[in-house]
Amino acid sequence: MRWWLACGVAAALVAGPAWAAEPLQALSADGRWRVAAEGASVSVFHDGARVKNLAAVPRDGRQAPSAVAAIHAAPARRSFVIAFETLAELWELSIDPQAAPIFDGLVHDYRQGEAIAEPGYLGVRRTRLEQPLRELALDDSGAYVLGRGAADAGAGRPLVLLQLDIRRAIGRFDVSGEPDLAAAQTVRREAGPALRVPDRLGGPTIWVDLRRSALIDGAAATR
């Protein structure tokens, strides 16, 4: 009985209550990889051993390190997705040994090898943002990320939809209420996949059409 109680307490410390900020660590599907926030850095562990540590700074290093806001595993992509408190970037860190090389900056011609690439394995693919994102939700494929930014005075809650394959935002929505991204679910529909995001305060559910990068109302959501 004491063992089960200790496990429950440990789980609560890691995950926190459902309404709290996302936990600052995540595990791969097989449990062998762990990515965790450590101050203003991101640490990567494999089978309990640290294999990499990354300062939470932009590529050019011209910004003070940022605290980590959220970390999610993306099992379908064999990667982790990371958001930051003050860094306007979204990171995708791959744990796939066959991951494609990462190209950043201006490139004349990828095919002719004119660009300088970084290894994809344990490398960071950066998606630049207009503002930092504090909460995240991923669809089942892991390719679409819905993030929540800071609200402007008197405005609604800004949600940003990003596509990781092209590394850019494809939609922005100002919504009311308190969208609970931690409880978001992928819904398969004839019209294409959607993210279903409940409201923490019991308000209307938010539906995001991933193919059209648009909000849809509840009546049309199941069609």
pLDDT in tens, 7-60: 333 333 333 333 344 459 999 999 999 999 999 999 999 999 999 999 999 988
* Domain with 104 in it: 20-132
Same domain, 177 and 210: yes
- Among the listed residues 10, 39, 36, the one whose alpha carbon sits nearest the alpha carbon of residue 22: 36
Residue 138 pLDDT class (50, 70, 90 cuts): very high
- The DSSP element (H or E) to which 15 belongs, if any, is helix 2-15
Instruction: Give me the phi and psi of 71, to 5 degrees please.
Output: -135, 130
Distance, in Å, from the CA atom of 162 to the CA atom of 51, rounded to the nearest integer, reads 28
Q: What is the pLDDT of residue 103?
A: 86
Give bridge partners of residue 89 from the DSSP assignment. 128
Same domain, 97 and 201: no
Q: What is the mean pLDDT of residues 55-73?
A: 93
Same domain, 128 and 146: no
Same domain, 160 and 110: no
